[in-house]
Amino acid sequence: MGGVTAMELFDLTGKVAVVTGGSRGLGRAMVQAFAEAGADVVIASRKLDNCERAAKEVEASTGRTAVAVACHVGHWDDCDRLVDTVYERFGRVDVLVNNAGMSPLYPDLASISEELYDKTHAVNLKGPFRLATQIGTRMVAAGGGSIINVSTVGSVMASVNELPYACAKAGLNLMTVGLAEAFAPTVRVNGILPGAFATDITKAWTPEMRSGRMVPLQRLGEPSEIVGAALYLASNASSYTTGALLKVDGGITRHP
């Protein structure tokens, strides 16, 4: 990378980035970072009004184009519509972040319904598979791109309190490695495994969990702290990184 400055490695000027679950939490932080790095962004989630609100904020603060698209990633027809919408609008995708996820609560393992299990699998694995294969194939044809799958550290240390979610995310990890091989050498596919972050999801947590005392760094992560990993994997800074699963979790080694 001779002649390229460190800042230029992270530059996304002229790129188009699509982020599912992009209207809040970690996805919203990534959207903001990509736009600040020069990318036009597509913000997708189930609720269009939230996406539109985020898009207006991004455009006002960065001057980049931000497009809101309603998409339930658990439904393949919604995924296909998102792909078509983005390519009709921009003609390209340089970065795809499969960030949308869900981890519904249940009283015990035997009480998990087929509907809950299927919905959890659909949002966390089936939808990302569809988006990654459809957009990744087009990226290969266009000569390059980066796909980032947002998993969880829980995928490598399953808890009985989130087992269907952890199983789906473990599948997402394997999918990441498999697609990295399938789309090489032009398209890179990597995963981020976040730990406990202070987002709206943590509002349902116990005070003990929210304290972050179970984390070696003794606190929860802030959404802005996912940005470094996302920018690294989205940009030329990670040009020799594919099939990697990057933990961003404050050092967690076990479930509390």
The catalytic residues are 165
CA distance 71 to 20: 8
Asked if 20 contacts 131 with a C-beta cutoff of 8 angstroms, the reply is yes
CA distance readout (Å), 251 to 83, 106, 111, 140, 194: 36, 27, 32, 35, 10
Helix ranges (H only) for 91-184 are 114-121, 127-142, 163-183
Token couple for 14: 């002229």
Burial annotation 235-255 (CB, 10 A radius, 16+ → b, else e)? bbbbeeebeebbbbbbebeee
Residue that has been written with the tokens 């699963």 in this structure? 245
CA distance 48 to 78: 13
Asked if 169 contacts 151 with a C-beta cutoff of 8 angstroms, the reply is yes
